[in-house]
Amino acid sequence: MSLSYLYAKLSKKQEDLRHLIRCEGELSQHQQDFVHHRHLCTAPELSSDTWEGDLARSFDMIRDEYILTEYQDITGNQFNKVFRILSNKVEDIVQDIEHIKQMIASLEAEERRRAREDK
């Protein structure tokens, strides 16, 4: 492998890392937005002035037992799963970057050694 190839690969991996870190930040903000807007799942409150009876109770039950439960799953389990995946990918890329840097250092040392031998 040539040094130019390795430097290009290193640059690409570093850009990928910056992108993933930026995504983590944006995703964290979206998770906070979800948590902040949780109350909207059960809004508006139903009263005898707005809607009452069996249909209203069924509607409230659906909101509380299904919609809110699924919403909480998104804000908790699903976001956390994506964060774990992103974190693992970041770790992989960091390891790739370190490996590429080692390869570059090795090739540069080899080139310096050859240059000294040619003198």
Query: 6-20 pLDDT, tens per residue?
Result: 999 999 999 999 999
Longest CA–CA separation in the chain, Å: 96
Render pLDDT for 44-72 as a digit per residue (tens, 0 to 9): 777 776 777 888 888 888 998 999 999 99
34 by DSSP, 3-state: which? helix
* Element holding 86 (H helix, E strand): helix 79-118
Tokens read off for 7: 């430097």
Using pLDDT thresholds of 50, 70 and 90, give the confidence band for residue 104.
Answer: very high
Task: State the pTM of this model.
Answer: 0.78
